[in-house]
Chains A and B, each alone.
Chain A
Amino acid sequence: MLDLTPKGLSERGALRVNPCKTCQPVGAMYAALGVHRCMPHSHGSQGCGSYHRTFLSRHFKEPAVASTSSFTEGASVFGGGSNLKTGVKNVFDIYDPDIIAVHTTCLSETIGDDLNAYIQDMEIPEGKRVVHTNTPSYVGSHVNGFFNMMCGFIKYLSEKTGVPNGRAAVFPGFVNPGDMRELKRMLRAMGIPFTLFPDTSGVMDAPMTGSYAMYPRGGTTIPEIAALGDCLRTIALGVLTSEEPANTLERKCGVPYELLPLPVGIENTDRFLMTLSRLGKNEIPYELEEARGQLVDVILDAHFYLYGKKIAIFGDPDTALGLTSFALELGMVPKYVLTGTPGDAFTRLAEDLFSRYGAAGCVARASADLFELHQRIKNERVDIMLGSSYGKQIAKAEDIPFIRAGFPVLDRYAHSYFPIVGYAGAMRLLEKILSALMDRIDRDAADEDLEAVM
């Protein structure tokens, strides 16, 4: 496996090999699926929409609906205005969503299609909405697409009426439905009235009932997005993912925001809950404190399997940072922390974490790829890998235990139903990490060393 990957690292300025990111539109599509009765619409050639729907279905094992402008060569020359106009009409006619969320592609961006003008000029049925965002594939990554789509919804829909609604706007970051459910559970336990936006729970983890619903029960509703403008405060989770939409909402409607790391691991979850506690003037309930105590209890019970173990962490920026923070709490050494998404802030934040825990010799890389990760691992091994699906090639090539978390996870089932956020998510990660490390000990043990009790 990956036999062509040499050990010696070389400078690459142009060739991307085995990427650890994908393009903006798929993130925009995912964000739009977190809005109730919304049809995401890909303004580009139909391959884009097809790839993105495919990709989301492979991660969630769920239908991922989205329409496309189906550009032809003609549209690429003369502009995609008429394709969008026809597309929107047909989508409302045939699929009857409440709202269409258009995102662009590198095709429509390169020809300079003016989506604002197109949308202003088109006929939109009474009571229906069309919003858009620009998601050029040659800027940033799918994470940018996710937050850009959020900004698009906010710009079009959120209003400040002047009557505060007493709610917190909570932006979850690029996470799974299982994480969104856990965030909501914590918010309820804290007694905070909130709007989670976007919310893909109930959409991308819809139950089997025997009848197909194109628009399942879940998703943030249009009135809820409109009312974000009257929220008291935004809790923006994921410093690199959620600041842009939080900022957009603040600029448009004057809602102040608190930017927090994704609540992955103990300290990050503590911060989230303490912020909520200050905000709602409610004590952190025993239920959550108990969960925290249980988690610390297990970490102490098993610390000798974790301490000093080297881990490679890769994936989306905020996810990778959260996982790094948790790994450090476990006494592990996050030897390589890597994302494909560009941005120096990532490396700075990761290095801050390393130095806070005195973790020496750790490398943080943004705008990197899995080929580089593999080369680094060839030079200095790790004990375990934690990240998205494509890490499995490296894990197989180097015979390293591997745990999947984040996006995309294309080769396992049910993962998206469980959280990595909160104490519950940390407990789940902990069990996975321990099991992977301890299974390896068992596998490699000589017969006389195989322990009945560990």
Chain B
Amino acid sequence: MGTKSNVLDKYSARVYKNRKEHIVEIDESAPEQQIAANTRSVPGIMTNRGCCYAGCKGVVLGPLKDVLVITHGPIGCGFYSWGTRRNKAKTDDGRNFIQYCFSTDMQEPDIVFGGEKKLRQAIKEAVEIFKPKNVMICSTCPVGLIGDDIHAVAAESEKLYGISCTAFSCEGYKGVSQSAGHHIANNGIMRRVIGTGDAAPKTRYSINLLGEYNIGGDGWETERILRRAGYDVIAVMTGDGSAEALSRAHLANLNLVQCHRSINYIAEMMKDRFGIRWLKVNFIGIESTIASLREMAEFFGDSELKLRTEDVIADELSEIAEEREYYREKLSGKTAALYVGGSRSHHYQYLLRDFGVKTVLAGHEFAHRDDYEGRRVIPDIKEDADNKNIESITVERDDARYSAFLTAEQYDELRGKIQLEDYKGIIPDMQDGSVVVDDLNHYETEAFLEVLKPDIFMSGIKDKYELQKAGVVSRQLHSYDYSGPYAGFRGAIKFASDLTMGLYTPAWRLVTPPWRNEPILRGTVGYAEKTEAAQNA
């Protein structure tokens, strides 16, 4: 247990007691290792976590291109979540709200006398200028404290303007991280959007892609492959997504879950309500994309689909074969550390493995125990004061529209074969001696760097430059350092190419000035002047 204790050494007793539960050194001989997660961060610790608003507006709702999202609060929160997450979206008609930032920009009198009036006025102005069909309201910290009833304002606006208007009470102080915001957004979308669209005929290979935010175009690349294999993608949640598509999401036969943390609530609720099964997939990594495609074909169980799937796989593989070999040679044997939100630190291990890179540390910002240990632990997770206030809703079966694709027997048979309605978590995939850290912080990042000496550290912008200054290749896995897509076969090559650039850019050899390594002979230029100056002084 050397690695862990070396890192924890610096902490005071109280912090030590807290943090030791969040760090696990993988011991393959110890089954079912447990980790503490989704608990509050220690004040003063430089956590990389964000807040509930960031999870709700920033992650889940922000990408909806046909929704005018108004941030109700002072200007900052709306401003920071304006176009900074790289959730790409395009529209044919130019009606794309994600290029815009809408805020009530609350001022002191609004805080003192209440902000509902301003919110009402803002919605009125938004409707008049932009004519949206869908408005969503996201509240920030002070709104909850002063007690603005944003839900009443939303209901009123629906009547007044004949639009859909949904409010999300996602004040930043709720929960312990972005995760609470994901849940709040999931609830609102489930209650108010999914299944509200017209009934259209269901096609056999209809699917939704959940928890794919189209960062750097990942969703587009994934969809390209899925369409090639013959699937109809009804809705993507929520990258390049729309309320319009979400409203028809009940017409799918299968829900694919990419980011388990942020969207598993909707997957479960759609199962209960519409009978749609969900499958955990991973389109990050070559082998994992292949595995996901095969599991999907297995789910539909039809031999023609299976054959087409194999054709697509073979074709995509042959397209990248040469480059794959080249980059494997460049990257093989390197080690990596991964610290991202709630899923990517797991997904990217597969992609790294494709190129022979070993993961020595992985952690999540806002994951729960099930993301680490697998869904089997869900019944054992204890609620605490911070998460018990985050509403967990259950939905009724919609008898008219409930349609299960699989029979009960088929379901039971498949569950043993594929990751149907299951997620095994990150821990079972990690190698002996590697480290799993929940809510990794600035100090621990530095400390683990010393101990584990990874060649590459993939994290976010807040620690990117700390890592780079320490001489380690650092790549942002939230924004892909403005590159991507990294999904699928072509994405894997793009990723490998970016990593190779990071490792081989000649600037690394220029870090130390030559005079630090070689003695400089004393010359005589300027010697006379110096002597003269010294005499005059």
Residues of A within 8 A of B (CB): 1-4, 6, 10, 12-19, 21-23, 25-26, 41, 44-48, 50-51, 53-55, 57-58, 61-76, 83-84, 86-91, 93-95, 105-107, 109-111, 136-139, 141, 206, 208-213, 340, 371, 390, 393, 410
Distance in angstroms between the alpha carbons of A163 and B108 in the assembled complex:
42
Closest CB in chain B relative to A155 CB, distance in Å: 22
Residues of B within 8 A of A (CB): 10-12, 15, 40-54, 70, 73-80, 82-84, 94-97, 99-108, 110-111, 118-122, 124-126, 128-130, 140-142, 144-146, 172-178, 385-386, 389, 442-443, 446, 460-471, 511-512
Give the chain B neighbours of A210 by CB distance below 8 A. Answer: 470-471, 511-512
Give the chain B neighbours of A141 by CB distance below 8 A. Answer: 75
Distance in angstroms between the alpha carbons of A110 and B44 in the assembled complex:
21
Distance in angstroms between the alpha carbons of A213 and B470 in the assembled complex:
8
Contact of A208 among B82, B129, B146, B511 (CB under 8 A): B511
Give the chain B neighbours of A110 by CB distance below 8 A. Answer: 111, 141-142, 145-146
Closest CB in chain A relative to B16 CB, distance in Å: 11
Q: If A107-B172, A211-B469 touch, does A50 touch B48 (CB 8 Å cutoff)? A: yes
A-B contact list, 20 entries, CB within 8 Å: A4-B96, A15-B70, A18-B100, A21-B75, A22-B79, A23-B75, A25-B76, A44-B172, A47-B51, A51-B54, A63-B462, A67-B44, A70-B40, A72-B385, A86-B43, A106-B76, A106-B111, A138-B74, A138-B108, A208-B511
Contact of A86 among B44, B111, B118, B146 (CB under 8 A): B44
In the bound complex, do residue B43 and residue A14 qualify as a contact, i.e. CB atoms below 8 Å apart?
no
Q: If A106-B74, A107-B141 touch, does A72 touch B386 (CB 8 Å cutoff)? A: yes
Distance in angstroms between the alpha carbons of A61 and B471 in the assembled complex:
15
Contact of B75 among A47, A137, A208 (CB under 8 A): A137
Contact of B80 among A55, A64, A66 (CB under 8 A): A55
In the bound complex, do residue B172 and residue A10 qualify as a contact, i.e. CB atoms below 8 Å apart?
no
Give the chain A neighbours of B40 by CB distance below 8 A. Answer: 70, 72
In the bound complex, do residue B103 and residue A70 qualify as a contact, i.e. CB atoms below 8 Å apart?
no
In the bound complex, do residue A71 and residue B173 qualify as a contact, i.e. CB atoms below 8 Å apart?
yes
In the bound complex, do residue B96 and residue A95 qualify as a contact, i.e. CB atoms below 8 Å apart?
no
A-B complex: 5 closest residue pairs judged by Cβ atoms: A47-B51, A23-B76, A90-B44, A3-B94, A87-B44
Distance in angstroms between the alpha carbons of A65 and B95 in the assembled complex:
39
Q: If A21-B75, A73-B173, A106-B141 touch, does A212 touch B50 (CB 8 Å cutoff)? A: no
In the bound complex, do residue A16 and residue B104 qualify as a contact, i.e. CB atoms below 8 Å apart?
yes
Distance in angstroms between the alpha carbons of A76 and B172 in the assembled complex:
10
Give the chain A neighbours of B82 by CB distance below 8 A. Answer: 18-19, 390
Q: If A17-B100, A106-B140 touch, does A12 touch B125 (CB 8 Å cutoff)? A: yes
In the bound complex, do residue B172 and residue A211 qualify as a contact, i.e. CB atoms below 8 Å apart?
no
Q: If A10-B128, A45-B141, A57-B462 touch, does A95 touch B46 (CB 8 Å cutoff)? A: yes
In the bound complex, do residue B173 and residue A16 qualify as a contact, i.e. CB atoms below 8 Å apart?
no
Q: If A44-B141, A67-B46 touch, does A139 touch B107 (CB 8 Å cutoff)? A: yes
In the bound complex, do residue B46 and residue A65 qualify as a contact, i.e. CB atoms below 8 Å apart?
yes
Q: If A83-B43, A212-B470 touch, does A51 touch B76 (CB 8 Å cutoff)? A: yes
Give the chain A neighbours of B118 by CB distance below 8 A. Answer: 14
Distance in angstroms between the alpha carbons of A269 and B105 in the assembled complex:
35
In the bound complex, do residue B465 and residue A62 qualify as a contact, i.e. CB atoms below 8 Å apart?
yes
